[in-house]
Structure 1
Amino acid sequence: MLNRRTILLGGGAVALAGVGGAYLGMRSMGSMEEYNSSIAANRAALARRPETSELVRCAALAANSHNTQPWWFKIKQSGIEIHPDLARQLAAVDPDNHHLYASLGCAAANLGVAAAMGGRPGELSFNPADQGAVVFSFGGGAAAEPALFEAIAKRQSTRGDYDGKPVSPADLATLARAAALPGVDLHLISDRPRMERVRDLVVAGNSKQMADPAFMRELKTWLRFSPRQAMQTGDGLFSASSGNPPLPAWLGPVLFDVGFKAAAENDKYSRQIASSAGVAVFVAQKSDPEHWVLAGMACQRFALAATALGLKHAFINQPVEVAGLRPELAALVGVPGRRPDIVMRFGYGPALPFSSRRPVSAVLA
């Protein structure tokens, strides 16, 4: 789930982008000003008592794998259903739809927080008979959580360097409380020796994935290089959201093939993990779609709490995506024999451009 890749372009490739783009008309790619304006409308401050369509907007701002937004929503008088959009599956990186269902859980967490804030709290259930739909039924006693609600529109997966500053024990406790859900265990790693072991697993997983032609083809289909391309699709991994320069849509794939190399990516991941304050590993107590949804919910609530505390986060899921690495990660966090679900680094750092989102009308049944 939630595996967002940085597009690394070497200095020579960037120079070529500048020359080639100028020669062939950079204006066709759109501008970051236009892109940021379009994003601002979707990330506008949320109403304190959101209407039903606003609840869906809140849910759709959740983290999700490759920014595929693999969901659609059905509004009913009794509540809101979140259905998997199987047309947005990621067959190479997510062959059993683990990340897809975790993404639904992230959306469900946002929905629950927003509904409680609007005075319509409810309860979540999982319907395996309906392709694993998540059902939010109005009615219940969940308390409003203003800090998490305000964080919904501000949260982003910030795929850049952090400043290495540690997080206080009190704030770590706040993060753990926010993520505490029955059926999911959170393991926080802040000591450098174990973070380095996580780094080694990330590097090993990244190397294996980048050597897989199917993985690379799939990743490339979800890359968005120009502001206009990102605005038109409303999904995918926009290069500027990873701190890289926007490029014309026709040129980006060419330079991606030239500049996206395992060694440079591994160096980047090593540097970014070293700059982080810690790593969070979410492990559900069972490995089935219902518990994958629960892991996503816990992860999203952690991310909202982190945002409220001024922290950034980013996903480093290679050790859970490469099946052969899962046992070592499970052993590292003290749960041998179980399947880790999500790995996230966190720390203090600057914001980057937000990822795009499709309009609410595009995700409604």
Structure 2
Amino acid sequence: MTRREVLLAAAGGVVAIGAGGAWGWRASVGSQEAYRLYQAALRAPLPQDPAAADLIRAATLAANGHNTQPWRFRVGPGTIDILPDMTRATPVVDPDDHHLFVSLGCAAENLARAGTAAGRPGVLETGADGMIRYTFTVGEPRPDALSAAIPARQSCRAVYDGRPVAPDAIEALQRAALGDGVRCVILTERSAMARLGDLVVAGNDAQMGDPAFSSELKHWLRFNPASAMRHGDGLYGAAAGSPVLPDPLGHLAFDLFVTAAGEADKYAAQMRSSAGAAIFFGAAADRASWIAVGRACQRFALTATALGLKLAFVNQPVEVARLRPDLAALAGEPGLRPDAVLRFGYGPARPFSPRRPVGAVLA
């Protein structure tokens, strides 16, 4: 499941144009403290006797493309279904809905992990149409490190510090990604990472040259806390290290300052700073396999979080179809379609992305 942070270089000059005074500025962008409280409520620990809504809240904290949260949840007696929400598809970056179903898999993994941890253990089943059903019972709570990592996991689109990750941690990440026919190739050797960085930049160049891609991306951008909380979705600029701006200035700054060259430089620096990357391959090019990849990506991400690592998707070589063969060859899996790429390493803390309330995602 892909997110793009906004590069707002020189935005300070734009900000100076008609900020409207301190009061007007605060009214238009909202309060960072209000956003912190909003996030704390979303990521609060599960209660001792959780309802289905509590488990769904944990599921919605999963990784997903552009933070569109393309899911609906339907509650039945002892069941929670996860359904695709096609109104939240991103047809330019994800024309076959691949990322959408990977995102559903990420949510399903969170749901099952939270259920087991909170005393609602169960099983996940995936239908051919991409619907996922979690059938659960009441049992003893069994918390573990991965369930504890659910509220803390995030896609950290920052420059990391370049430190290598210990071999035992790499092995733990590799084990986490196994299951349901998913293959995961982890790259740490610097020449391989450099080649991967070139593919990421090539994908970025292709996407940034497409006006439809930029328009779709811009639709999901949230430039300030007020906008992020109002929508409850999308790519929150502060989470990517961008300055807080009123919406009109944010859109103007995006149009003026976000360029293919600037984005390429940013991604190149991020890749150079990363300790490694993981490339995921599903068993087939179908919805059930994409969901399995999403579950594997989420286990990988929760394991990385539990180990104190940061991570972020860099899916450009997956999204630009002509680059997929080169990415598969780099991973030593020629002929397979790659499904996701995650870079990882040690990096800074950033604000969390927004989420919609449970009531807004119920079917």
> 1:67-115 CA distances to partner (integer Å, 9 max, x unpaired)?
0000000111132100000000101000000000000000000011111
Q: State the shift of 1:139 in Å.
A: 5.5
Match of 2:50 in 1: 50
Match of 2:212 among 211, 214, 229: 214
Match of 2:3 in 1: 4
> 1:299 and 2:297 equivalent?
yes
Contact 2:81 2:133 in 1 (8 A): yes
Task: State the partner residue of 2:317.
Answer: 319
Q: Which runs of 5+ in 2 are unaligned?
A: none
Shift of 1:220: 0.5
Percent identity (aligned): 53
Native 8 Å contact 2:113 2:147 kept in 1 = yes
The letter for the 2-side match of 1:50 is: P
Number of the residue aligned with 1:265: 263
Query: SS at 2:124's partner residue?
Result: strand
1:359 maps to which residue? Answer: 357
Q: CA RMSD in A?
A: 1.7
2:37 is aligned to: 37
Letter aligned with residue 291 of structure 2: V
Q: CA deviation at 1:52?
A: 1.7
Q: Offset at 1:33? A: 1.5
Structure 1 CA distance, aligned partners of 2:120 and 2:45? Answer: 19
1:75 maps to amino acid: V
Taking the aligned partners of 2:140 and 2:134, their CA distance within structure 1 comes to 12
The counterpart of 1:282, out of the listed 265, 276, 280, is: 280
Paired residues of 1:167 and 1:277 also in contact (CA < 8 A): yes
Contact 2:280 2:338 in 1 (8 A): yes
User: How far off its partner does 1:64 sit?
Assistant: 0.3
Partners of 1:48 and 1:117 within 8 A in 2: no
Return the offset for 1:119. 2.5
Cα offset, 1:48, TM superposition = 5.5
Provide the rounded CA distance (Å) in 1 between the counterparts of 2:190 and 2:124: 37
Decide whether the 8 Å contact of 1:122 with 1:142 is kept in 2: no
- Does the CA contact (< 8 Å) of 1:315 and 1:343 recur in 2? yes
Worse-matched range after superposition: 312-321 or 74-83: 74-83
Taking structure 1 as reference, are residues 258 and 174 closer, same or farther at Cα in structure 2, changes over 3 Å only? same
SS at match of 1:20: coil
Any unmatched runs of 5+ in structure 1? none
Instruction: Check whether the contact 2:46–2:118 (CA below 8 A) recurs between aligned residues.
Output: no
TM-score by length of 2: 0.96
Aligned equivalent of 1:153: 151
Task: Give 1:49 shift.
Answer: 5.4
1:185-223: CA deviations, max 9, x gaps? Answer: 011000000001110000000000000111111001000
Deviation at 1:285, TM superposition (A): 1.6
Q: What is the match of residue 108 of structure 2?
A: 108
Q: Per-residue CA shift, 1:28-74, capped at 9, x if unaligned?
A: 22121211121111012333553321110110000000000000001
Q: C-alpha displacement at 1:142, in angstroms?
A: 12
Distance 2:345 2:140 in 1: 29
Q: Secondary structure at the match of 2:274?
A: coil
SS at match of 1:217: helix
**Secondary structure of 2:3's aligned partner:** coil
State how far apart, in whole Å, the 2-side matches of 1:48 and 1:175 are. Answer: 29
Q: Tell which deviates more after alignment, 343-352 or 177-186.
A: 177-186
Q: C-alpha separation between the residues in 2 aligned to 1:136 and 1:210?
A: 39
> Are residues 142 and 348 of structure 1, via their aligned partners in 2, closer, same or farther at CA, if it must alter by over 3 Å?
farther
Amino acid at match of 2:247: A
Aligned positions, number: 361
- Other-structure match for 2:25: 26
* Residue range with higher mean Cα deviation, 185-194 or 118-127: 118-127
